[in-house]
Amino acid sequence: FVNPGNIYRPAVRYWLPDASVSADVVKSDLEDLASIGLGGFEFLPFYLYGLPAGGPTPTDWNKYGYGSTAYKQVFDAALQAAQDQQLLMSFALGANQGQGSPAKMESTGLAKELAYSSIVVPSGSTFSGHLALPVNHPPSETSIASFMHPTVDRIDQKLIAVIAARIERDYPLPVNNTYLEEDSLIDITLKVVDGQLSFSPPKEGDWQIMAFYERYTNQKSCSGAENPSSIIGNGSWIVDHFSSTGAKVTTDFIDQNVLDPSNQKALANVGLYAWEDSLEMIAAAWWTPDFLSEFKARRGYDFTKYLPFIYNGENYWGQLVPTYINRTILGAGTDGGQRVNDDYRTTLNDLYQRYLEHMQDWSHSRGLKFSNQPAYGLPLDMAADIPLIDTPETESLGFPTLDQVRQFTGSAHMANKNIISSEMGARTKDTSAYSQTMPDLLTTINLQLVAGVNEFVLHGSPYSGDYAETTWPGYTPFFYTVTDMHSRCQPAWESYKSSMDYVARNSMISQLGTAKIDLAFLTTPDAFTILALNTSSVSSAGYSYEYIGPTDLNLGSSTIQGKVLSPDGPAFRTIVIDGSSSIPYNTAFQLESYAKLGFPIVFLGSIPTNISGICLPPNCNTNVFQTGLNKLVADYPETVKISPSLDTLPQTLSTLEVTPRVLFEGGGWYQTLWKGDVEPGVDYVYFWNPNLVVETITNVEFSERRYPFKVDAWTGTYSPIVEYYRNGTTLSMALNIKSNDSALIAFSNSRVFHGQLSPTNVPTPLSLKTWNITIEDWHPTSNLSSTQTKVSNHTILDTALKPWTQYNLSNVSGIGHYTTSFRLSSPEAKLSLGTIQHTVKVFLNGDELPPINLFDAVIDISSYARIGVNQLLIDATTTLFNAVKARSSTIMTAGVPASLANPLLSENATSLEYGLLGPVVVTPYQAVKIA
């Protein structure tokens, strides 16, 4: 626990600008990671985020593109660094986000879409003529222009179907909705001859004809050279993510251009993941060549006539906007096309799993595991995909809240995934590079730890050497707009280790144990959406909870034993279903089987009435579905309840005798995660205080006979808890956790404690008010094009603790060395540093003190203090923000000035208040022996 292995340590995403860089600097960068407590890296060929806007490349990507000879040399250098330092190396499956591969344009295995053109036939008219091709660039493309590549004009467009239907009603304003009469839908594809169609509507009224074409999306994931001379020089095309054929385009390229027998042998020793990032790609409608045949085989009906209804915002990337300005909807007496869209998305997800299966099989064959961010942004069922992946990965950017993360971890826990990864720390809103503090980063990590995430990849670490048209402080991915740059350019770099050790210790406990959760909220497999339930009433009552999907109930782990679901996994004590949601037909019967075994079930608001997907007899019967759910409440009144709302859910759970594993008394509460059997017979409980109140003292009760221990993840030490109360089978204690801080409690049958010195404060604190300060000023050399940092010193004597701005150092970033002295009549004392802005190291009488909790910066100094005069040194670091913003008009990455890329880095921007601000207080105490 004191020194966790690399498998438990945070890793970092390493951004390679392109293959023109120095392999020696790459090795040096990566070897440096081990010194600050990181355990590995993701090797990401960044290529200016794929250069989505196109244009000139900083270097010749014909020579230095992804997959080039130069790229392989840099890849091998990174692998050698991993071997030398025994770091774990993962690598992206392609340039930029890994969604694409170099290939011939419009070749087999590249991404396809289904687009359409349409024409209205006025009442009483006929249509005879050539069917128009769809527009090359639907209006929706503008929604992703800032971070994805635009599509390229298509060459090959294959007619798939022509559908005609009577227009029931048409609302051109404000949303351009066209409603089509379901009974009038007809497939007239066979009437098309050589692109010509002759059609007379069989019924009066206006009719709409829609011609559907399969075509390549022709979207790149990485731009190429201005004048490409090869497939590699032309960049990467996004591959088909709904077939193994598309996955094979990616893996074949890697096999042919990146891997060889020598580096594969090395990867078998230090390789961890073949990895794919978020799915940043678009399509008019998601498609693969065998979609229609696969749909019919899987759903039991022909989908062709329902093609008009899939072009809605729910099916677009990120559920941003509909593909086209006009949206086509099923008319009166229907659900508007919701159920056919359910089936469309379910089939898409089935086909996406073919892609995942190939990637995982290939990874295993190369001695690696597979990791990716499943379903991200696409209208897919994330909960169904997570169980299929060796190590599913979420992220803090797209999943910023606790509920959002729990919608990821619930399915992973149901599938007995003990390792859940996260891309950690990226922010894009109201921020800039070089501004993220360590407490801010650790707050997000603490949030994800309590949600069950236990492997972290910091976002990120840039190449530190010189690069084309790039100045100090070095290559900055995303042009200064995204957090953050974790590298030796940061003044805090050498003081990262204590924080990385803290994360590693928490991760180790979480990975070794099995999450035990009180409640499972059942979510429906609609478009990729993230719920934002107001669950404060549930949390304040002590209940932990996660979200699972209907497919999780089909896993082998989803058995009932002792009135819990998945007893060897999360051991849910009840399942909660929103009555307004749609659920699959078979789920109703699974719930009935659970109720028969005494497993508690709660419906929120009402009993569901909607089936997801089209209900086709004889395998589906709407009346049987509804009757079955209604009978659950009638036949099992002691097991199945309806709760009017989330606010009343704790009361409903109480009537079902569903109790939380952790109970809070007196109004205060924390978020919790119980981890069972971390060691044989030893459970751990992780607490996190998300409340804005700086300090919360809360009484906590457990149904627990074992002995409690406090686990300090900052120092790696255990200490018995001596102040607690037992009442039969319950144990209660008071916990005091600062805002955003965490705590770990362990329960063990072994009582390895027979007495302890318990400090009792005495009212004679010493406030340290006068300091000598030496401030290291980190800035560029006289050669701004060099990424090297020069350090100058500023000295302030006999001063109170003030922000650096009050010393006329508004544009300075670096390290403040604060010295003072104090007298003690006895060595027993505690040192409090006040609020910590970034990172600190503390030295007393020449000895470095153990790591200090950045959220509750109080440390016992008894082993280091002495009677008489004590010399105190505190090293407080800053971010690089003030120094960068002061020069933002002259510093640049790949020719783009920081001030132009991010206005928040303007030279006129307000400087951050850097420095040790205290109050710094020494509090002597007396020690009392507790028997």
User: What does 588-606 look like in DSSP terms, one character per residue?
Assistant: HHHHHHHHHTT--EEEESS
Structure confidence at residue 145 (pLDDT): 87
Given a cut of 70, is residue 101 above it in pLDDT?
yes
Q: How many CB atoms lie within 10 A of CB 285?
A: 23
Q: Does residue 359 fall inside a structural domain?
A: yes
Contact call for residues 878 and 837 (beta carbons, < 8 A): yes
| Strand arrangement of the beta sheet that strand 574-578 belongs to | 545-548, 519-522, 574-578, 601-604, 640-643
- Give yes or no: residues 524 and 545 share one domain: yes
Residue type, 30: L
438 and 477 in a common domain: yes
Q: Report how far apart, in Å, the C-alpha atoms of 563 and of each of 227, 468, 591, 657, 660 are.
A: 66, 63, 13, 11, 14
Of 292, 321, 340, which residue constitutes the final position of a domain? 340
Nearest to 408 by CA among 453, 351, 352, 458: 453
Q: What pLDDT is stored for residue 758 in this prediction? A: 46
What is the mean predicted confidence (pLDDT) over 114-140? 96
The domain that holds 721 is classified in CATH as: 2.60.40.1180
| Structure tokens belonging to residue 865 | 């203090």
Residues 503 and 519 in one domain: no
Beta bridge partners of 699: 665, 734
pLDDT category at 922 given cuts 50, 70, 90 is: very high
Question: What pLDDT does 319 receive?
Answer: 87
Angle at 99 between CA 554 and CA 30, to 5 degrees: 105
Q: For 509-532, what is the mean pLDDT?
A: 82
pLDDT at 737 over 50: yes
Q: Looking at 172-317, which runs of residues are DSSP E strands?
A: 177-180, 186-187, 196-199, 207-216, 220-222, 236-238, 271-276, 286-287
Same domain, 248 and 394: yes
What CATH number does the domain containing 627 carry? Answer: 3.40.50
The arrangement of strands across the sheet holding 662-665 comes to 662-665, 695-703, 730-738, 725-727
* 527 — pLDDT class (breaks 50, 70, 90): very low
Q: In this structure, are 371 and 505 located in the same domain?
A: yes
Mean pLDDT of 802-806: 97
Beta bridge partners of 522: 548, 577
Could you tell me how far CA 607 lies from the centroid of its own chain?
33
DSSP H/E element including 628: helix 622-635
pLDDT at 36 over 80: yes
Which of 340, 369, 388 finishes a domain? 340
Residue 525 has pLDDT above 80, yes or no: no
Q: What is the H or E stretch that residue 688 is in?
A: strand 682-688
| Spatial separation of the C-alpha atoms in residues 457 and 435, rounded to whole Å | 18
Answer yes or no: is 387 within a domain: yes
Q: What is the pLDDT of residue 174?
A: 61
Mean pLDDT of the chain: 94
Model confidence at 754: pLDDT above 60: no
Confidence band, pLDDT 50/70/90 cuts, at residue 753:
very low
Please count the structural domains in the chain. 5
Residue 904 lies in a domain: no
Strand 717-720 to 771-780 pairing: unpaired
Q: Are 344 and 236 in contact (CB under 8 A)?
A: no
User: Domain boundary residue among 591, 620, 655?
Assistant: 655
pLDDT digits (tens, 9 = 90+) for 18-28: 999 999 999 99
For residue 758, being part of any structural domain is answered with no
- Domain assignment present for 317: yes
Angle between helices 402-414 and 438-450 in degrees, nearest 10:
40
Q: What are the CA-CA distances from residue 212 to residues 130, 221, 224 (Å)?
A: 14, 25, 31
Q: Which residues of 749-781 are buried (b: 16+ CB within 10 A; e: fewer)?
A: eeeeeeeeeebeeeeeeeebeebebebbbbbbe
DSSP 236-247: EEEBPTTSHHHH
Mean pLDDT of 154-179: 88
pLDDT (0 to 100) of residue 401: 93
- 883 sits in which H/E element: helix 881-885
CA distance 408 to 548: 8
Identify the pLDDT of residue 667: 72
Task: Summarize pLDDT for 587-610 with one digit per residue, the tens.
Answer: 999 999 999 999 999 999 999 999
416 and 461 together in one domain? yes
Q: Provide mean pLDDT across the span 318-346.
A: 91
Regarding whether 319 and 213 lie in a shared domain, the answer is yes
Res 531 pLDDT > 80: no
Element of type H or E holding 166:
strand 157-171
Count, residues in the chain: 931
Q: What's the domain range around 289?
A: 112-218+283-340
Q: How far apart are CA 648 and CA 905, in angstroms?
A: 48
Contact call for residues 272 and 251 (beta carbons, < 8 A)? no
pLDDT given for residue 684 in this prediction: 98
pLDDT at 762: 53
What three-state secondary structure class fits 307?
Answer: helix
Between 113 and 666, the higher pLDDT residue: 113
Q: Judge whether 420 and 454 are in contact, CB under 8 Å.
A: yes
Please provide residue 493's backbone torsions phi and psi, each rounded to the nearest 5 degrees.
-50, -45
Q: Which amino acid is at 480?
A: Y
Is pLDDT above 90 for 756? no
* Beta-carbon count within 10 A of 868 CB: 9
Same domain, yes or no: 289 and 207: yes
Residue 592 gets the label, from left (phi > 0), alpha (psi -120 to 50) or beta, of alpha
Nearest to 696 by CA among 734, 752, 654: 734
CATH number at residue 92: 3.20.20.80
- Cβ-based burial of 783 (10 A; exposed 0-12, middle 13-18, buried ≥19): exposed
708, part of any domain: yes
| Residue corresponding to tokens 């399915």 | 411
For residue 145, the number of C-alpha atoms closer than 13 Å in the C-beta half-sphere is 7
Is residue 200 pLDDT above 80, yes or no?
yes
Coil, strand or helix: which one is 403?
Answer: helix
- Whole-prediction pTM value? 0.96
Average pLDDT estimate for 789-817: 98
Distance CA(498)–CA(652), nearest Å, equals 44
Place of tokens 């109720």: 595
Domain membership of residue 905 (yes or no) is no
Q: Kindly state the tokens that stand for 847.
A: 């000895």
88 & 151 share domain: no
Distances from the Cα of 364 to the Cαs of 247, 271, 306, in angstroms?
Answer: 14, 11, 39
Q: How far is CA 361 from the centre of its chain?
A: 24
Same domain, 540 and 487: no
**DSSP class of 131:** P
The alpha carbon torsion through 144, 145, 148, 150 (nearest 10 deg) reads 110
Q: What is the pLDDT of residue 326?
A: 87
Q: Residue 632 gets which letter from DSSP?
A: H
193 lies in the same domain as 320? yes
What local confidence, expressed as pLDDT, does residue 526 receive? 59
pLDDT in tens, 845-897: 999 999 999 999 999 999 999 999 999 999 999 999 999 999 999 999 999 99
Residue 170, judged by CB atoms within 10 A of its CB (0-12, 13-18, 19+), counts as: middle
CA dist 902 and 216 (Å) reads 35
The whole-angstrom separation of Cα 425 and Cα 485 is 10
Q: Is residue 224 part of a domain?
A: no
**Rounded (to 5) percent helix, strand, coil in the chain:** 25, 30, 45
Q: Are residues 728 and 853 in the same domain?
A: no
Tens of pLDDT, residues 635-654: 999 999 999 999 999 999 99
Nearest to 518 by CA among 681, 705, 654: 654
Strand (E) or helix (H) holding 900: helix 898-901
Please spell the DSSP secondary structure of 14-76, one letter per residue.
EEE--TTS-HHHHHHHHHGGGGGT--EEEEEE-TGGG-TT----SS-HHHHSTTSHHHHHHHH
Give pLDDT, residue 666.
74
C-alpha to C-alpha distance for 872 and 918, rounded to whole angstroms = 14
